[in-house]
Amino acid sequence: MKTPSKTAEVLMNSRYLIEGEEWTDLAKRVGTAIAQAEKTPALQEEWAKKFTEIIQKGEFIPASPFLMNAGVNNHLFSCYVLPIKDSLAHIYETIADAAKIFQVAGGVGYEFSSLRPKGCFTTKSGGVSSGPVSFMRVFDASCNELKAGGRRKGAQMGTFRIDHPDIEEFINVKQDLSQLTNFNLSVTLTEAFMQAVHDNGSIMLQFKGQPQADREIQAKVLWEQIIENAWKCGEPGILFIDRINDKDPIGNITATNPCGEVPMPPYGCCDLGSIDLAKLFTRGKFDWTRYENLIEIAVRFLDDAIDINYYTLPQIKEQQLSERRIGLGIMGLADAFVKLGLAYDSSEACAISEDFARTLKDTAKATSEALALEKGAFPSQNLSKIKDSAPIRNATCTTIAPTGCLVPSTRVYSNKGCPRIGDLPFSKTTKTFLDVDYLNVSTDMGVEVSTKTYNNGIASTVKITTKRGFELEGTESHQIRVINDQGKYVWKKLKELQIGDLPCLAKGTAYDFPAHNVQLVPTEKLHFNADPNTKLPGELTPKVAYILGFFVGDGNFASEGVRFAFNLDEPDEIARIANVIDDVFGLSFWGATLPIGKGICYCLNSRPVKRWLYQFGCTNTGTKLQVPQQIWDSPAEVKGAFLRGLYDADGSASIHSRKIELNSHNQQFLKEIQRLILDLGIMSGFNSWIRGESCFSSGTMYKISITHQADIILFSQIIGFDHMGKGQTLAKIIESYTTSPRKYDNQPNLPEELDTSRIYVDKIVSIAYGESQTYDIEVPNGNAYIANGFVSHNSISIVAGCSSGIEPIYALTIERRHNLPGFEVIWEENELFVDIAKKQGFYSKALIEKIKKNSGSCQGIDEVPKDIQAIFKIAADITPINHISQLAVWQKFIDSAVSKTINLAASATQEDVGEIFWMAYEGGCKGITVFRDGCRGSQVLSSGAKKETRPDIIEGKIIRVPTSLGKMYVTVGIVDDQPFEVFVSLSQPGTNAFADAEALGRMVSLALRTKISVLEIVKQLKGIGAGSSSFHKGRAITSIPDAIAFALEKYFLDVKVAHPDDHAQFASGTEGAYCRDCDEE
């Protein structure tokens, strides 16, 4: 292993290395000790060598107790769960058991809601209970007195059911950060509680046998208290306890280990180790063979540990030998991404994570099954949920030890037709998932299953239009496939797209699914008492679709039925359509109406037919033309027949220009037709032109043109013309071709894995911005689906998470705090970042200081190249959605993963926390925790974003702002060119307004000193209204807060640049940019 960091050196010397040891000695000690579980001396020697090697190289690191105790006293397991019974004797018995565990370097999880509520009578003493939280303080004090083995501080997890009468005391206990300092806290939430939150309902708080403590409370009251406290101090976390028990192979889970990643039954224990992915690179490439080999060795290592471990309590030994739970995970994922040149929040990173996770699961399971054949399955398998599965050595094998959307009109291509995404079933609550019956969807690689729909609520959107006229509108973070400058097929967010970028369109999706029948409205509901002999089709056949297409093209409603328009010089065409109508409806044309120009209308006097057409959304108004949903839901043959009827009525073919065209005043209608013929595999172009006043119909016209030889041939085969004249022209066009179809012009070479007959590469010609309700779907395998023809990324599945093993880089500069003599604080710099910075020549101590002041982030620092900024995003730079996108990949392959800590910037709001928690629940997460930087004064890790000490002398700027209450002077103190404090003085001393202004200035100063951005402060204060306003420099000053916002905006956000939405101006400066008109960043 390479030279350790200062922190690693301090920790090894103070905690893990025994006297006289080096790291190589430690590796040999641990490897040799674990191998003693093997049956023969030869096997012991073989596996001791393998175990030692992987630890020595740092490729596999077992949990801390292995490093401290293997070969010493063999207390190897990290953490435990101990039960607590509702009796004073058992409470202190559990404290005594916990003390024994702390002495051997362990941590303990407990469920405290097993204890009776505060104020309830006790049976033996006749007194009243002091409640579970009071006993937690006793446990905390005991832990505080016993450092684990004298080297490692004991850790504890306290869980508490949401329906316990003392739940509010538990939730709020850490508002005083001096309380329960040796505990992590999590509330166990039931499905009944979460449903009550969703329904704005209430729950009963109750404890069996103590009815006097029962009370009813609104679920959202508790929910909001959890959110508020998580925002203030990072606790409590939440655990979805019903979900945990449902997914556990054994069940009976009430608590987790202190870090929260392993749920365990009473007397369960953690047998953990992690593989360092960043160590498995050879000449810049990841070594997959070595990864699989490491998994095999590590699973055996952890299983062997079960047999040589010294068990502090007999109940723990009995439990572990019965189930043989192990937890193999990974670490160094973020570092591996850096070595691969991938941004943590990129789709490429998620794709490689899936490969990492699948390999971990499959190889670990296969190894455990092989061990079962060699050594026997875990004894309680025959009583478990997996009793009918193949014998396996370990009940659990893997753990990980400490995420865009589209507008409602977007078409999705599926086995249930092509619905608009907004018409799919969705949860009525925004930011939530809804499980759906299996929906098979078209993707760029074939058909995949979609399992969830996602309601994202109203969001800012980006709308792209291609050269061919195709459109897609979605949220800024929604991704589509494009061909990049290197010719690679990659994902790109809509907000990152530029004019000239090359998005990929999928053709021929109608053929992805087997033919099926589309049923129509039952005829008995349409006949009423008239025309009882009229035939009203109950199924959408090709012939019915044809007449529907013809009606959409050249039909309209009359008072007694419907009319069809024809050219006067086409009697054969009139007769042909009359025969089709007779065949479909059993009716004949009644007669002709007055001629219109060169045309004439024939009537079909039938109110039932008129009513029958209503089901297709047909109207009298041309501006409301649409492709009926029934056509979208039809197989390819029916779609082709509908289009043939439409083109017979309104289309044209030209031998001179060798093209097929369709015109309409209705732009949106033609856009739908263009997508429909793309669904059949035919590419077309879209443009507009102006028809003059002298024409029958003047104004802007829109046109679809099919011009490429291959597409015209395909049109003739799939759609064609029944109209004699147009059909003859089409035949002449095809006869005029003397060569085989050429490739499309300007098409790049596609990667080999793509079907070139399916994918067409278009070019973006316009980008617009807006706001809309947005939705998405989940496609677990492949993460893609076809939307409006574009290859679109699916939503992330918001599921159970993991700790630092898959976390992004916390910060590039870290202040680590230790309770170690002489090493209270150690500053670290990210080694990979420093190495790259030195190689590329932009490293300097001044740069590191800038990063420290930027909360450990390199984003926005000019000295750092943009490509380096992209791959070195820290936790606070990554959105919660992108944090969780990694979880979606890992959870489906991990046995015991429970919780995810999302590290948030100091400026994160309570609303952000609530949104994260709710997304976690709706997405199937087992548990989650948030941590807002700076929310605790003595956190172990800090990026440096904490309250700063005021220098004795600072420079300032005084800004005068007139208000309706008189002149106000805002004095802004400046440190290192950044705002540091604000003093506000109003020309009305002694008044309430004067006091309010001074108080608000103090609060703004406090926010600035804790690194809340000027931009965020301005956005919070700007526009707050009062009784009256004044005007200053063309702007209304509506209140004292608004005046402070004006002063800060004027001084720190005063550079004018163009806004992409043509709003008045942007303001930009040291804190970023935002629009003064709409506050959009």
Q: Which residue shows structure tokens 């400046």?
A: 974
Length of the chain: 1081
H or E stretch covering 54: helix 41-56
Residues 962, 967, 968, 974: what is their CA dihedral angle, to the nearest 10 degrees? Answer: 80
Q: Are 622 and 701 in contact (CB under 8 A)?
A: no
- Look-up of token digits 């009423």: 528
Whether 261 is catalytic is yes
769: Cβ–Cβ under 8 A, 6 or more apart, which residues?
A: 460, 461, 462, 463, 1060, 1061
Name which of 684, 144, 107, 769 is nearest 497 in CA terms.
769
CA–CA–CA angle 321, 323, 324 (5° rounding): 65
3-state helix, strand, coil in the chain (%, to 5): 35, 25, 40
Cα 652 from Cα 669, distance rounded (Å): 17
Q: Which residues pair with 1066 in a beta bridge?
A: 1057, 1075
Q: Letter for the amino acid at 141?
A: A
Dihedral, CA of residue 801, residue 860, residue 481 and residue 429, to nearest 10? 50
Which tokens go with 593?
């109406």
DSSP state of 406: B
* Amino acid, single-letter form, for residue 328: L
In angstroms, the CA 102 to CA 1080 distance is: 52
Q: Is 667 exposed, middle or buried (0-12, 13-18, 19+ CB in 10 A)?
A: middle
Catalytic hit among 143, 259, 270, 925: 259
The count of other CB atoms within 10 Å of the CB of residue 966 is 13
Residue 1009, token pair as written in the block: 């000193």
Cα–Cα distance between 797 and 92 in angstroms, integer? 43
| Helices marked H in 555-597 | 571-585
605 among known catalytic residues: no
What would the DSSP string read from start to end of 594-611?
--BTTEEEEEE--HHHHH
Contact yes or no for 541/637 (Cβ under 8 A): no
Tokens of 110: 């407990």
Neighbours of 778 (CB within 10 A): 23
Strand partners, 527: none
Cα-based torsion angle of the residue sequence 127, 133, 135, 140 in order, rounded to the nearest 10 degrees: -160
Both structure tokens of 79: 């953490």
Handedness of CA 992, 993, 996, 997 (dihedral sign): negative
**Measured CA angle at 37 (ends 32, 38), to 5 deg:** 90
List the structure tokens of 829: 């710099």
One of 257, 456, 783, 830 is an active-site residue; which one? Answer: 257
Catalytic residue flag (residue 998):
no
- Residue 256 CA to residue 258 CA, distance in Å, equals 6
Q: Which of 59, 261, 471, 672 is catalytic?
A: 261
For residues 475 and 741, what is the distance between their CA atoms, to the nearest angstrom? 38
Query: Which tokens go with 553?
Result: 């093209």
Residues acting as catalytic residues? 257, 259, 261
